[in-house]
Structure 1
Amino acid sequence: MILRKSILRQFKEKKFQYFGVIILLMLSIMLYVSMSMGISTLDNRNDQFKEEFMQEDFHMILANKLSSDQLEKWEKEYNLSLEERLYGDVSYKDSDTTLRLFSKTTEINIPYASKGKLPEEAGEVALSPVFAKAHNIAVGDEIDINNRTLQVTGFMYIPDYIYVLERESDLLSDPNTFGIGMTAENTLQSITDKTVAQILGHGTSDEESNTFKSAVTENYSLLKWMNQEENPRIQFVESEIESSETMITTLPLFILALSVLMVLMIMKRRLEMQRKEIGTMKALGYRNRELTKYYMTYATIIGLIGSFLGVAAGAGLSIPITDLYSNYFNLPSISYFDWDPKVLVIGFFVPNVILLIMTYFVIRKPLQQSPLDLLRPKDTSKGKKSLLERFPIMNKGSFISRFRIRLLARSKARAFYILLGVMFSSILLIFGATMYKGMDGIVNSTYKDIMTYNYAAHYKSLQQADTDQGESPFTVAEAEITRINGEKAKTIEQQSMIYGIEPETEHIQLQNVDGKLLNSTLKNGVVVSEPFASALGLSKGDTITLKNAYNNKTIKKEVTGIAKVFIGFSIYSEREEINEFLGYPKGVYTAKWTEALPEYSEDVLFIEDKQDIIENFESTSSLTRYSVFGIAGFAFLIGVIVLTLITNLIVEENSPSISLFKVMGYNDKEISRLIINVYTPIVLLGFILSVPIGILSIDQLMNSIVEQTGFAMPVQLNWLMILVSLVIILLTYYVSVFFSRRKLKNVSLQEALKKQQD
């Protein structure tokens, strides 16, 4: 009972140390539980939505109009489900906002009404919730589209537009400039100048899909074929789930390690300070088992409180995280909250087990000593020097410099812990700064330096007409890299495209990382985009085998360069050679780049406005830039907690020396320089080490997710961003020093006398 009372007293006396450790433990568990349960709920919603509402396995667009019974013939012959769906783009309010309206389907990509109902009569429309929210539209409102009034009957989701992108080449979704909706087929045809017919397919394996695709190309002109695994509107949510798994474990695990180390340091310090008490209790008859249970109680209380708060906070935080993901990816809330028992068990029990095991090994050694050894003062008379102190240069200089060096050399564990804490916070800051700069790099390199055109017109059929001045024809089609240097290449699940261009064109300037123009090398081989090279490990000089997605023809080409195109799996070659590879007549093209806005015609499939892409990317990526401030704030919080805990422990350990310095006439500022500020070089070293480690870690992270996302972020930092990160780290350090100085001021002059009496 007496021992139990002392536990409560110790928690009150050292409340900052124990409270800080509990907060660290809570943060690590909260991050793990919230991210794990949030992603788990998102994954369950995605699986349930695509299964219950028949997400497509593929879709295609044909240049020819199908006969009424052709779909039924294909369904019976290839044992699959097919359904035709029309869609058309209309301007909403202004030319900068596009609304894509679809006709209703009943078998494939079945719409889900989250509020209200789906349109049943002419003049009705249902909208995606994110678009409606962005434009302040409610169910029952009336909207004007192309001089016609439509009534909003409800909000809806469709399984093939989980990530709402206007074009497959887009990277980010922006509901302010693009949205989707559903209306009756007659209403759609009456308000749009041009509709596109998609054939949706479901119920085939990859092999059956390829067989059906070959049969279609024999009799029809196939403008577009996209499998489910190649569709970014479907796969982006899958990629996010996969890429989040690394972050779910790495970040919380590192904070957990910091928490456990801090507990161990506190327990070791406590055992050293209570040597005589432990010896006395053993002499009075306390068994090692009772003393072990007593000291293990500290770790138990810290673990239980930290894990309980972490699990509770993480479970609560997972709900808004899931809703945020669902809104971003346009997923309906079919299931509100999915409890994952495995996550709760891991989040609660694993940290406690680790903490108790490590604490046991720390307290085991002192308790094995005899009462007489424990009652004797700890032997410090030998004054054994560390390896660092033996260097002659360390014995030179003033007393202050020699004292600081000795203190630093004899507290290597503290220095290592500070190094870890600083490196952790610094890597977070470097990650945020890289993300901030990387967004600019993607836009500037891909859309400004390389893609110098203003518009791209894509056609439904092959074109032979001569292009005007300021226009550049090109051919684009699907292609697959099957072999690299004779070895089988890894399969890329996303769609890969091959572009046949004129090497002398001014509308696309293929450049490598050194800024060298690669267009002229297309006569000798092909140029690939950065994501393609990263995903397959391609280098200049490699020989690749290309497979035509339409007729399975293959050719071998040498990779003559890697272009700074950071979005999409793209291959660039000469147009005439690509036409031959695809089986097209000489001189034809499927699209053209232009400087002026091309005219719409019946042959035009769609027109790409590069400026819209840039504005869409920049407006949406601003959210990512704002997240940098959140990362910086989190890094600052972790840094302050870790550094303040360790500097407070240093003050506590050196309280007799601090008291003696006060007796000798040193003021608090001078003592702070001697005791606390000694770790400034460690802080600087930790930051310096974190810069290359952070860049390397981010580079590895981006390489690991490039296959799923289809884009590679340039990892680049300038000196300004590094300087800003250093300022934040130093601010974190000096904030912790400020809190520790307050503890230093409370050290009384009698501490040195107490130590002498001991």
Structure 2
Amino acid sequence: MILRKSILRQFKEKKFQYFGVIILLLLSIMLYVSMSMGISTLDNRNDQFKEEYMQEDFHMILANEVSSDQLEEWEKNYNLSLEERLYGDIPYNGNGTTLRLFSNTNKINIPYASEGKLPEEADEIALSPVFAKAHHITVGDEIDVKGRTLKVTGLVYLPDYIYVLERESDLLSDPNTFGIGMTTEHTLQSIADKTVTQILGNEASEEERNAFKSAVTENYSLLKWMNQEENPRIQFVESEIESSETMITTLPLFILALSVFMVLMIMKRRLEMQRKEIGTMKALGYRNSELTKHYMMYATIIGLVGSILGVTAGAALSIPITDLYSNYFNLPSISYFDWDPRVLVIGFFVPNIILLIMTYFVIKKPLQQSPLDLLRPKDTSKGKKSLLERLPIINKGSFISRFRIRLLARSKARAVYILLGVMFSSILLIFGATMYKGMDGIVDSTYKDIMTYNYAAHFKTLQQEETTKGESPFTVAEADIIEINGEKAKEIEQQSMIYGIEPDTEHIQLQTEDGKLLHSTLKNGVVLSEPFASALGLSKGDTITLENAYNNKTIEKEVTGIAKVYIGFSIYSERSEVNEFLGYPKGVYTAKWTEDKPDNSEDVLFIENKQDIIENFESTSSLTRYSVFGIAGFAFLIGVIVLTLITNLIVEENSPSISLFKVMGYKDQEISRLMINVYTPIVLLGFLLSVPIGILSIEQLMNSIVEQTGFAMPVQLSWLMILISLMIILFTYYVSLFLSRRKLKNVSLQEALNKQQD
């Protein structure tokens, strides 16, 4: 009972230390549980939605019409399911917003109505929830679409538009400028200037799918074929789930390590301060097991409080995280909350087990000493200096510098702890700064430096007409890299495209990182986009074998350069070479870049407006920029806790010396410089080390997800961003010093006398 009361007393007296450690433990467990359960629920919703509502395995667009008899014959011959679906793009509100409406399907990509019902009559429409929310539309409203009044009957989700992108090349979804919906086929054809017929397919093996594709290309002009694995509207959510798995463990694990390390230092300090109490209790008859149990209670209480609060907060936080992901990816809430027992078990038991085991080894050593040894004062240092203290230049310094170095050299564990804590916070800041700068780099490099055209018109059929001034024809088609330097290449899930361009075109400027133009090298080989080269580990001079996705024809080419195109898996070559590779007549083309907006004729499949892409990217990337402030706030919180815990520990440990300095006439500010500010070089060193480590970590992260996302982010960190990050770290450090100085002021002049009496 007496020992139990002493625990409560210690927690009250040192509440900041124990509270700070509990907060660190809570943060690590909360992050792990919330992210794990949020992603797990998202994964379950995604799997359930695509299975129950028959997500497509592929879709294709043909230049020719296909009869229902032909579809039935294909289904029978290739053991698959096929269904036609119409869609059309319609301007909405006259402010650049596009609404893509689809006809209903019954077998594949079955729509799910989360509210209301699907359209059944003319002039009825159902909208995606994110688009309806962005435009303040509710079920039952009537909206004007091209001068026609349509009644909103429901909110709808489509299995092949989980991530709502207007174009496959887009990176970010923006419901303010693009949305999807459903209407009846008659209504769609009456309000859309042009409709496109998709043929959806599923329930086919890979071999049957390939055989079917070959059969289609023999008799029909295939404008587009996209497998599920290549469709960013489907794969982006799965890529997010995969890429989050590393973050789920890495970030919480590091914070957990900081909290465990801090508990061990506090326990070691507590045992050193209570040597005489431990010796007295052992002399009175307390057994080692009883004392071990007593001191283990500190770690037990910290672990239980931190883990219970962390698991509770994490479970509660996982619900809005899941909803945020679901809204962003346009996933219906088919399942509300999926409890994962493994996450709860890991989040609760693993931190407690690690904490108790490590604490036991810290406690074990002093308890093995005899009562007499514990009652004696701890052996003082025999005067052996560390390597740092023996440096000649150090011994010539002032008393203040020599004292600070001695204090620093004899508390290596704390120096390492501060170094790791500062590096952790700094890497978070570097990561945020790089993300902030990298988003601008993607737009500037890809859409401003490289792609200098304004519009791109893609045609349904091969074109032979001569282009006019301000236009550049090009050919685009699917192509795969199957061999690299004679060895089989890794398979890429994303769709890869080959572009046949004119070497003298002014509408695309293929450049290297140093600004060197690569057009002249196209006669000797091909130029690759940055994501493609990164995903396959390709560099200039490598030899690749390309395969035509339509007729399996192959060609071998040398990589003559890597262009700073950061979006998409793209291959660039001369148009004549690409036409020959695809089996097209020499002078034809499938699309053209223009300066002025082209006519949306019947031959045009779709028109790409580059400015719309840039505006879409910049408006939605603002969310990423705002997240940088969240990262900075989190880094500041971790930094303040870590640094303040250490500096408070220094004040507590050196309170007799602080008291003696006060007796000698030193002011609080001078004593602070002597003892608390001693870790300033460690803070600066930690930040300097974090810059290259942070950049390297981000590069590795981007390389690991480039295959799933199809884009590479340029790691561009300016000196201004580095300086701002340093200022935040120093501000964090000085906030912790300010908090610790308050404790230093409370050290009384009698501490030194009391120590001498002990």
The question of a shared fold, defined as TM-score above 0.5 by the shorter chain, is answered with yes
- Alignment partners' CA distance in 1, 2:69 and 2:601: 28
> What residue is the counterpart of 1:75 in the other structure?
75
* Aligned mates of 2:106, 2:65 — CA distance in 1: 21
Residue equivalent to 1:104: 104
User: Equivalents in 2 of 1:382, 1:755: separation in Å?
Assistant: 20
1:317-360 deviations in Å (ceiling 9; x for gaps)? 00000000000000000000000000000000000000000000
Report matched runs for 1:162-173 at 5 Å: 162-173=162-173
Match of 1:176 in 2: 176
2:515 paired residue number: 515
Mapped to 2, the partners of 1:271 and 1:523 lie a distance apart of 76
Further displaced range: 530-539 or 407-416: 407-416
SS at match of 2:114: strand
- Summarize the alignment of residues 469-480 of structure 1 with structure 2, pairs less than 5 Å apart: 469-480=469-480
Q: Tell me how far 1:686 sits from its aligned partner.
A: 0.4
Distance 2:533 2:297 in 1: 55
Contact kept in structure 1, 2:226 and 2:495, CA below 8 Å: yes
SS in 1 for 2:16: helix
The alpha-carbon deviation at position 381 of structure 1 amounts to 4.8
User: Which structure 2 segments of 5+ residues have no match?
Assistant: none
SS state of the match for residue 559, structure 1? Answer: strand
**What does residue 609 of structure 2 align with?**
609
Write the distance in 1 (CA, Å) between the matches of 2:473 and 2:58. Answer: 28
Partner of 1:420: 420
Secondary structure of the 1:389 match is: coil
Shift of residue 372 of structure 1? 0.9
State the match for 1:429 in structure 2.
429
Aligned residues: 758
**Matches of 1:257 and 1:445, distance apart in 2:** 40
Deviation at 1:125, TM superposition (A): 0.1
CA contact (8 A) 2:542 2:558 kept: yes
1:116-141: CA deviations, max 9, x gaps? 00000000000000000000001000
Percent of counterpart pairs with the same letter?
88
Mapped partners of 1:679, 1:79: distance in 2: 70
Which residues of 2 match residues 527-542 of structure 1 at below 5 A?
527-542=527-542
Shift of 1:40: 0.1
Aligned to 1:441: 441
Corresponding position of 2:125: 125
Per the alignment, residue 658 of structure 2 pairs with: 658
- Report the Cα distance in structure 1 between the residues aligned to 2:519 and 2:360, rounded to whole angstroms: 66
Deviations 1:276-312 (A, max 9, x none): 1111111111111111000000000000000000000
Note the 1:376-387 alignment, pairs <5 A. 376-387=376-387
1:152 aligns with 2:152: yes
Q: Which amino acid aligns with 1:177?
A: T
C-alpha distance in structure 2 between counterparts of 1:256 and 1:224, whole Å:
50
Q: Is contact 2:28–2:256 with CA below 8 Å preserved after alignment?
A: yes
> Compared with structure 1, are the counterparts of its residues 647 and 603 closer, same or farther at alpha carbon in structure 2 (3 Å cutoff)?
same
1:247-268: CA deviation from partner (whole Å, max 9, x where unpaired)? 0000000000000000000000
Give the equivalent residue in structure 2 for 1:259: 259
Structural mapping, 1:536-615, within 5 Å: 536-615=536-615
Alignment partner, residue 727 of structure 1: 727
In the aligned structure 2, how far is the partner of 1:497 from the partner of 1:381?
Answer: 71
Q: What displacement does 1:390 show? A: 1.3
Distance 2:287 2:330 in 1: 62
Aligned to 1:626: 626
The C-alpha deviation readout for 1:683-711, integer Å capped at 9, x for no partner, is 00000000000000000000000000000
Report which stretch shifted further, 386-395 or 579-588: 386-395
Deviation at 1:383, TM superposition (A): 2.6
Shift of 1:95: 4.4
Counterpart amino acid of residue 271 in structure 1: L
> Could you tell me how far apart the structure 2 residues matched to 1:680 and 1:67 are?
77
How far apart are the structure 1 equivalents of 2:716 and 2:380? Answer: 51
How many angstroms apart in 2 are the aligned matches of 1:186 and 1:735? 67
Structure 2 CA distance for aligned equivalents of residues 68 and 10 of structure 1: 81
Listed as ranges, the matches of 1:10-409 within 5 Å are 10-409=10-409
Measure, in 1, the Cα distance between the counterparts of 2:503 and 2:300.
70
Separation of aligned partners in 1, 2:532 and 2:92 = 36
Would you say the 8 A contact 2:79–2:208 is kept in 1?
A: no
Q: Deviations over 1:583-616 (max 9, x none)?
A: 0011000000000000011100000000000000
Partner letter of residue 449 of structure 1?
Answer: D
1:384, distance to aligned residue in structure 2 (A): 2.3
Alpha-carbon separation, structure 2, partners of 1:208 and 1:280? 82
Deviations 1:94-120 (A, max 9, x none): 141000000000000000000000000
- Contact 2:228–2:234 (CA<8 Å) still a contact in 1? yes
- In 2, the alpha carbon distance for the partners of 1:384 and 1:358 equals 29
Q: Partner residue of 1:710?
A: 710
Runs of 4+ in 1 over 4 A off after TM superposition: none
- The DSSP-based 3-state class of the residue aligned with 2:96 is strand
Amino acid of the structure 2 residue aligned with 1:546: L
- Cα offset for 1:206? 1.3
For residues 373-396 of structure 1, give each alpha carbon's deviation from its aligned partner in whole angstroms, at most 9, with x where no partner exists.
111101115132112111121111
Q: Deviations 1:458-511 (Å, cap 9, x if unpaired)?
A: 000000000010000000000000000001100001100000000110000000
Deviation at 1:757, TM superposition (A): 1.3
Cα separation, 2, equivalents of 1:677 and 1:48: 56
Counterpart of 2:389 in 1: which secondary structure? helix
Task: Give ranges in structure 1 of 5+ residues lacking alignment.
Answer: none
Shift of 1:398: 1.3
- Deviation track 1:51-104 (CA, whole Å, cap 9, x = no partner) reads 000000000000001123110111111111100000000000014100000000
Distance in 2 between residues matched to 1:95 and 1:295, nearest whole Å: 68
Alignment of 1:733-744 (within 5 A): 733-744=733-744
Q: Deviations over 1:615-650 (max 9, x none)?
A: 000000000000000000000000000000000000
Q: Please give the secondary structure, in 2, of the residue aligned with 1:592.
A: strand
Residue 483 of structure 1: aligned partner: 483
> SS in structure 1 opposite 2:482?
strand
Amino acid at match of 1:665: G
The CA deviation at 1:24 is 0.3
Give the alignment's Cα RMSD to 1 decimal. Answer: 0.5
Partner amino acid for 2:120? E
**Conserved in 1, the CA contact under 8 Å of 2:566 and 2:711?**
yes
Per-residue CA deviation, residues 190-234 of structure 1 (Å, 9 max, x unaligned), is 001100000000101111110000000000000000000000000
